[in-house]
Structure 1
Amino acid sequence: MELAAARELWRPEPGWLNTASYGLPPQPAWDAMQAALADWRVGRTSWEGWDESVGRSRAAFARLVGVPAADVTIGAAASQVLAPLAAALPDGARVLAPVEEFTSNLFPYLAQAGRGVRVRTVPAADLAGAVDASTDLVAFSLVQSATGAVAAYDETVAAARAHGALVAVDATQACGWLPFSAAAADAVVVAAYKWLMAPRGVAFGYFAPELRERMTPSAAGWYAGASVHDSYYGPPLRLASDARRFDISPAWLNWVGAAPALELLAEVGVAAVYAYDVDLANRFLVGLGRPPGDSAIVTVDAPGARERLAAAGIRAAVRDGRVRASFHLYSTVDDVDLALAALT
């Protein structure tokens, strides 16, 4: 589907510039979820139909980040997906992360302090240069949520590889608009309710096969079984041989809403979304006298921004006088110009 045709699948109220907080569902996702809710309300169907959305979502996510679906696990939140990786770190392991890192990709490792796991933080711009022989894992966000800064992905991965360190990437603020290959890292986690425009409670993880061999699926239940329908009761342990062994039982209705949104993004192509989103972000930056950038998330200083944006009907994140505006498929030139008029 062409991007222009895809954009007709949203009818947002003007002024939503806050996808970095949560994304808006396209019409097919909204319709699918409403139909499932109606069926649930009256007991019209069984759960197996809803469950098909999990497989569809997994396949679409794998396509978006360039990995086999067999290497993708599903979950509910970024930190939950990362938990088995943190637990698999050896006693006394050393983790390197940006000081600005979002805690979903920090707390799982900090929680291992009782085993001697230590986390060292440095400014994000210094991350690649700070990797050394003592580093066991480098953890960072592909796009920083507060500022929109895009990490030096290739450079940081290369530095980690040169020192034999693992790489764990939180791509929550990148996946859906920024093209990248998850396979360059060892682990990539994404909470899907932002740029993938799924309901909250949907998350994905890519785990490289070599990494999975070190990890224990401690949260395994029936949904992690080699055959889900043969895993309802009793021993022995019979887990899937691929990344599904780290799946948790899905909240089905959320996945019903996720599958159409991810499939639409995969059909349009992330490269086209990148060009559209960043072009709007740069229109916003240039309109405020700032140089253009390479991110769909931008942060600018604007005194009195909260009141001025609210009066204009613009919904963006404002913290300590700094505006974080984020632009996605349903954002428009009119949205940008309305925000500029309010701030200038």
Structure 2
Amino acid sequence: MDIEAAQRLFTPDPGWLNTASYGLPPTPAWEALQTALHEWRCGRTSWKGWGEATGHARETFARLVNVPVSDVSIGAQVSQMLAVIASSMPEGTQVVVPEEEFTSNLFPWLVQQRRGLDVRPVPAADLANVVTAETGVIAFSLVQSATGAVADVDAITAAAAEAGAVTVADATQACGWLPVDASRYDATVVGAYKWLLSPRGTAFLVTKPELRSTLVPSQAGWWAGEDPHASYYGPPLRLADDARSLDISPAWFSWVGTAPALELVEQVGIDSIHAHDVALANRFRAGLGMDAGDSAIVSADVPDAERRLEAAGVRAAVRGGRLRASFHLYNTSDDVDMALDALTADTTPA
């Protein structure tokens, strides 16, 4: 499916430039969700069909990030899934993190300082340079939430390999527009409600078997069982022997909407989406007199940006006192020009 055909499956109001906050659903995802909600309202069906959507989403996500489906766990939020990793690290482990990181990939580590984790925040740009033989974990975002800066993955993974450190990548602001190969990291976590166009409440965790064998599945319930439908009652502990052991019970309706959203992303292709998104972002950057970049997120210091955009009906965000605009599959050059007209108009009184 090409970009133009995919865009016909969305109904955004003009000027939505805030996918970095939340993505918009394609029609197949919206309709699947409405059907499930109606079934729930009327009590017309078993919940098992809703649960099956989780498996479909897991399989599609695995293909999108180039890993075996057996390495993919499902959950609700980034911090919830990272907490399992952070709480399983031995006392005294040194964890290097970007100091400007979104707190969902900071708090799970920082809260473990009370039991002896040595968490060291540093500027994201210096991440690879501060890794030493003492470093046990490098936890970082592939794309920074506030600025859209894309991490130097080659340098970070090389430093981690030399130190023997575990890499934990948050791909929430990357997966869906930036090609992501999760096999490069020991763990990768993704919230699906942004660039993967899904309802809030679905997330994925990819873990390599070597790391997973050291983790305590402290949130395990019946869905983490080898056979969930034979795990309703009683001992013994009988968890799945793959990444499903780290699952939590799915929020059915969120997963019903996630499965078709991911299928659309796969049908269009990440490479095509990447080219489209970055081209729009660079059109916006050029209009503001900025150099071209490599991200679908643009951070710019534009005076009075929030008021100007709001008056023009453009929805973006302000992070760290700077305008943050983000461009995705459903956006067009008209959205870019609408924002530029608002931001570059001469408002000097006559």
Q: Tell me the TM-score normalised to structure 2 length.
A: 0.97
Paired with 1:306 and 1:268, the residues of 2 have a C-alpha distance of 32
Deviation at 1:307, TM superposition (A): 1.3
CA deviations over 1:124-175 (Å, ceiling 9, x no partner) = 1111011101100000000000000000112101110111000001110000
Whether the 8 Å contact between 2:75 and 2:248 is mirrored in structure 1 is: yes
CA 1:320 to 1:212, structure 2 compared with 1: closer, same or farther past 3 Å? closer
1:331 equivalent to 2:331? Answer yes
- 1:81 is matched with 81
CA deviations over 1:82-106 (Å, ceiling 9, x no partner) = 1111111111110001111111111
- 2:108 is matched with 108
1:71 equivalent to 2:96? Answer no
Q: Secondary structure in 2 aligned to 1:325?
A: strand
How many corresponding residue pairs?
344
- 2:348 is matched with none
Alignment of 1:1-344 (within 5 A): 1-319=1-319, 321-344=321-344
Paired with 1:318 and 1:328, the residues of 2 have a C-alpha distance of 18
Whether the 8 Å contact between 2:95 and 2:136 is mirrored in structure 1 is: yes
Paired with 1:77 and 1:233, the residues of 2 have a C-alpha distance of 26
Deviation at 1:319, TM superposition (A): 4.2
Paired with 1:56 and 1:180, the residues of 2 have a C-alpha distance of 19
Deviation at 1:111, TM superposition (A): 1.3
Percentage of pairs with the same residue: 63
Deviation at 1:3, TM superposition (A): 2.3
Whether the 8 Å contact between 2:202 and 2:255 is mirrored in structure 1 is: yes
Whether the 8 Å contact between 2:146 and 2:320 is mirrored in structure 1 is: no
Deviation at 1:320, TM superposition (A): 6.0
Paired with 2:62 and 2:296, the residues of 1 have a C-alpha distance of 22
Q: Secondary structure in 2 aligned to 1:190?
A: strand
Paired with 1:67 and 1:319, the residues of 2 have a C-alpha distance of 33
Amino acid corresponding to residue 187 of structure 1 in structure 2: A
Amino acid corresponding to residue 28 of structure 2 in structure 1: P
Paired with 2:106 and 2:315, the residues of 1 have a C-alpha distance of 29
Amino acid corresponding to residue 38 of structure 1 in structure 2: H
Amino acid corresponding to residue 54 of structure 1 in structure 2: T
CA deviations over 1:279-302 (Å, ceiling 9, x no partner) = 000000001110010000001111
Paired with 1:304 and 1:114, the residues of 2 have a C-alpha distance of 42
Q: Secondary structure in 2 aligned to 1:120?
A: strand
Paired with 1:321 and 1:136, the residues of 2 have a C-alpha distance of 34
Whether the 8 Å contact between 2:168 and 2:186 is mirrored in structure 1 is: yes
CA deviations over 1:198-244 (Å, ceiling 9, x no partner) = 11010000011100100010111100000011000000000000000
Deviation at 1:112, TM superposition (A): 1.2
CA deviations over 1:57-114 (Å, ceiling 9, x no partner) = 1011111111011100000000111111111111111000111111111111111112
Paired with 1:236 and 1:319, the residues of 2 have a C-alpha distance of 49
**Runs of 4+ off more than 6 Å:** none
Amino acid corresponding to residue 15 of structure 1 in structure 2: G
Amino acid corresponding to residue 101 of structure 1 in structure 2: E
Whether the 8 Å contact between 2:146 and 2:319 is mirrored in structure 1 is: no
Whether the 8 Å contact between 1:179 and 1:270 is mirrored in structure 2 is: yes
What is the root-mean-square deviation in Å for CA atoms of aligned residues? 0.8
Q: Which runs of 5+ in 1 are unaligned?
A: none
Whether the 8 Å contact between 2:199 and 2:258 is mirrored in structure 1 is: yes
Amino acid corresponding to residue 139 of structure 1 in structure 2: A
Amino acid corresponding to residue 275 of structure 1 in structure 2: A
Q: Tell me the TM-score normalised to structure 1 length.
A: 0.99
Amino acid corresponding to residue 199 of structure 1 in structure 2: P
Q: Secondary structure in 1 aligned to 2:8?
A: helix
